[in-house]
Amino acid sequence: MSEQLLRDIEILADLFKAGGWTELRVESDAISLLLSQDRAAPSLDGAQPASVPVAAPPLAGAQSQIMTDAPGAQASAGPIDPAWTAVKAPNLGTFYRAPKPGSPPFVEVGQRVEAHSELCLIEVMKLFTSVKAGIAGTVRHVAVADADLVEGGQPLFYIACD
């Protein structure tokens, strides 16, 4: 994502906040953007994960809220072994364990993953970043509940390396 595109998104976000609008939808060849004050989020059916991290901050009050019935929507409990490797959020956003509501999670505790395995999605302003494991091993702990807001650098999963 180019610096100019990020600046344009920030300008649109500022206009959205200042204008008192309830919804703003912008589509171009480079991006599809929806800003909404409505807490009932539109369906994610057909949404494709983005492969680039997004640095633009979310708008206060313009949050999406997506409920999921996917199994394993809660964070796993139990102690964290210091030998496990944390997989951290690349940026601030909403954490999703499944590709869409009602789908099974990308990974479960106890599942073996490779470095390229997709673990979850982080959503910011309707742009989705795919989070990869980065290492081969076994998922031992899910540190965040589905649809929770996460900070950049916050641990999401713990993996026991091979």
Residue-range domain boundaries for the chain: 85-161
pTM, to two decimals: 0.56
- Would you say domain 85-161 falls under CATH 2.40.50.100? yes
Mean pLDDT computed over 6-18: 77
pLDDT at 22 over 50: yes
pLDDT number for residue 29:
67
Is residue 162 predicted with pLDDT exceeding 80? yes
State the pLDDT at residue 119: 97
Q: What is the pLDDT of residues 90-128, one digit of tens each?
A: 989 999 999 999 999 999 999 999 999 999 999 988 889
- What is the chain's mean pLDDT, rounded? 77
* Torsion, Cα of 146, 119, 36, 12 (10° steps): 150
- Residue 54, pLDDT > 50, answer no
